[in-house]
Amino acid sequence: MAATDPKLLKVDNSDKGEFVRAKSVFRDWITADGSSGFPSEAGRYHLYVSLACPWAHRTLIVRKLKGLEDVISCDVVDLVLDGEGWSFSDKSPNCTLDTVNGCSRLREVYRIANPDYDGRITVPVLWDKQKKTVVNNESSEILRMLNSEFNAFCSTEDQRELDYYPEHLRTDIDAVNEWIYPMINNGVYRSGFATSQEAYDVAVRDVFQGLDKIEDILSKSRYLTGKSLTEADIRLFTTLIRFDVVYVGHFKCNKKRIVDYPNMWGYLRDLYQVPGVADTVNFEHITKHYMGSHTMINPTRIVSIGPDIDFTTPHGREAMQERND
């Protein structure tokens, strides 16, 4: 899924106050053999992302781990949404101008691809510089393209061999993704954007039932599907790393914190400490975006001071790896 632009386009809710996420629209694929019409090439493709967005964060992690930073360029939208949506600026820390199309707004990029486009303006966006169009704006599909279709361009042989969606684990990965997405990844948004007590109660119950299920899995296994880090872990990580920082307070997911789950807290630190992953995490963007953009939740736009969390302490999950071997 992709991150919505709630301030500009308003959050869609059902008659019962339930948050309804719009589906991604651009769904073409880049393939190594070029059979899709979008062949994988170094320097041809570009990512538009927000460092605050968990969906965009997925793609940045795989781009980093696969050694594709010099292969696929990237621009970062501004931290906070204003009345016109996602914008480009080099005045905020770690944000950029649009270096490919020279646009001031992400909506302008979408309209280069389709002048009649009037749908959601979301990140991430995978852009084809040659055809001047959006290839895909569905994060789960972009993640898989980066995982498998650019192996010829990875920086090292080890990175080329990394596979976060290995064939022998695909059934297991798909199975956990199927319930983690609605219960946890999107569940925090369903809780935070609910406009009725009934909708919130249902959503937040799903979140913590899902987290309890994760805790149980991690009590027996280092990763979600065994002893190997997969896309399922990456997809979950981008929600967990934001949970105690913004979702507990901002989205009212305050029954428990991740630090209150012994296995999940160690697992989160384990993933954070994978070389390269911490480089993709920007807590300033995360906190300022959520608390400064969602004025329907936080009309004063005051950004909270904490919590203080150290993700670099020893995690002890190596012992779990030994049990899985």
The DSSP line for 171-205 is HHHHHHHHHHIIIIITHHHHHHT--SHHHHHHHHH
3-state secondary structure of 293: helix
Does the domain at 6-161 match CATH 3.40.30.10? Answer given as yes
Contacting residues for 105 by C-beta, under 8 A, at least 6 apart: 84, 85, 86, 87, 88
Spelled out in words, what is the top-level CATH class assigned to the domain 167-278+308-324? mainly alpha
Can you give the pLDDT at residue 39?
Answer: 98
Catalytic residues: 53, 189
The CA distance from 282 to 236, in Å, is 17
What are the structure tokens assigned to 22, written together? 């719009």
Quote the distance between the C-alpha of residue 219 and its chain's center. Answer: 25
Q: How far apart are CA 67 and CA 61, in angstroms?
A: 10
Q: Are 214 and 184 in contact (CB under 8 A)?
A: yes
Mean pLDDT for each consecutive 10-residue tract of the chain (325 residues)?
A: 44 72 86 98 98 98 98 97 90 96 98 94 97 98 98 97 98 98 98 97 98 98 97 99 98 98 98 98 98 96 97 94 73
Backbone angles phi, psi at 215, to 5 degrees: -60, -40
- AA letter at 285: H
Instruction: Give the span between the Cα atoms of 120 and 123, in whole angstroms.
Output: 10
Domain residue ranges of the chain, discontinuous segments joined by + = 6-161, 167-278+308-324
Q: Tell me the pTM.
A: 0.94
Same fold for the domain at 6-161 and the one at 167-278+308-324?
A: no
What pLDDT, on a 0 to 100 scale, did the predictor assign at position 6? 41
pLDDT score for 10: 53
Nearest partner of 65 among 129, 160, 131, judged by Cα: 160
For residue 286, give the nearest of 57, 8, 75, 82 by alpha carbon.
Answer: 57
Contacts of residue 240, defined as CB under 8 A and 6 or more positions apart, other chains included, come to 258, 264, 268, 271
Tell me the one-letter amino acid at 89: S
3-state secondary structure of 225: coil
Element (H, E) at 155: none
pLDDT for position 4: 43
